[in-house]
A and B are shown apart, each in its own frame.
Chain A
């Protein structure tokens, strides 16, 4: 009886989750397609930047994307399972040793950049080919 109830709660959570989560990691440069509802029309906005954190687990899992917009650092937090996050494309893999890249906020110049992760031998198929890597840091 007792475990029964929690299973129901979990099944409700599972319904909400996406079956296929976009594959990306902290340090990757990504392009997030985010649905925006304006009155009655819907449009998709792209947001490009560096993934500096992935937080929480389960239904409330979020990721933070940082970019530099006209000299001002901008960070946006997206719920990973939100139906409004349409897709997340990886533009560039990053080589990082930390799970949270908050240190990048106070770095300038070359130190604010993340080295590209080069997988030796084969080409990384998960990286979107067409898009040129974002050259802003």
Chain B
């Protein structure tokens, strides 16, 4: 599966061929350095290891720097892409041109953290009446009965931490690939805050 590490820059709109305004998210792709390869014989699966954003040598611990081969500068972000369909060599740099023929992508990122949230925001519960003597406003309600089952089932929807988790959005249309600027315009919104790291992969379910 071909893919790249990118950075979410923000949203804007562009006109398509028919003159319609399309909402897009701008993803910047710095040159992706191929750091290593994993093979079925040695590691049990096929993948390439890709890194972006160079880090100072003095800022890297020895074990971390050890992952990078001779003559490769350590990078801040390090990710794997399984079953990479293109033949690449270690030390090669990949850029957005890779996505030029791709029509749809899946994007993976960490969503914005929302902190500790109640059930109304977190699970879209309806809540109760605000007035007319109601004492049931934004509560979760019952979580289990007394005699049977005499317990609260696992995975019951309750308040708790929301966001800041890995989110994959599938089948996003690639509107434009600008090799000169090193950006991809993806239709619609993407998870994560501005300047967050993203994985842009060729869509699994749509081509």
Contact = CB atoms under 8 A, between A and B. Distances in A.
Interface of A: 1-2, 5-6, 8-9, 11-13, 16, 35, 37, 59-60, 79, 81-84
The 10 closest A-B pairs by CB, nearest first: A84-B19, A5-B9, A9-B10, A82-B19, A9-B26, A83-B19, A13-B12, A59-B13, A9-B9, A9-B12
B195 interface: yes
B181 A8 contact: yes
Contacts of A81: 15
A9 B12 CA distance: 7
Given A2-B195, A60-B21, A79-B21, A8 B15 contact: no
B198 interface: no
Interface of B: 7, 9-15, 18-19, 21, 26, 28, 178, 181, 183, 185, 194-195
A82 B12 contact: no
A87 to B, nearest CB: 14
A16 B9 CA distance: 18
A8 B21 contact: no
A12 B15 contact: no
Given A8-B181, A11-B181, A59-B21, A82 B10 contact: no
Contacts of A60: 13, 21
B18 A37 contact: yes
Nearest to A82: B19
Contacts of B12: 9, 12-13, 59
Interface secondary structure of A, over-half rule: helix
Contact of B10 (A5, A16, A37, A84): A5
B19 A8 contact: no
Nearest to A83: B19
Contacts of B28: 5, 8
A12 B195 contact: no
A37 B19 CA distance: 10
A118 B195 CA distance: 52
B26 A12 contact: yes
B19 A16 contact: no
Contacts of A8: 9, 26, 28, 181, 183
B185 A82 contact: no
Given A5-B194, A82-B19, A16 B26 contact: no
A12 B21 contact: no
A1 B9 CA distance: 11
Most chain B CB inside 10 Å of its own CB: which residue of A1, A8, A81, A83: A8
Contacts of B13: 13, 16, 59-60
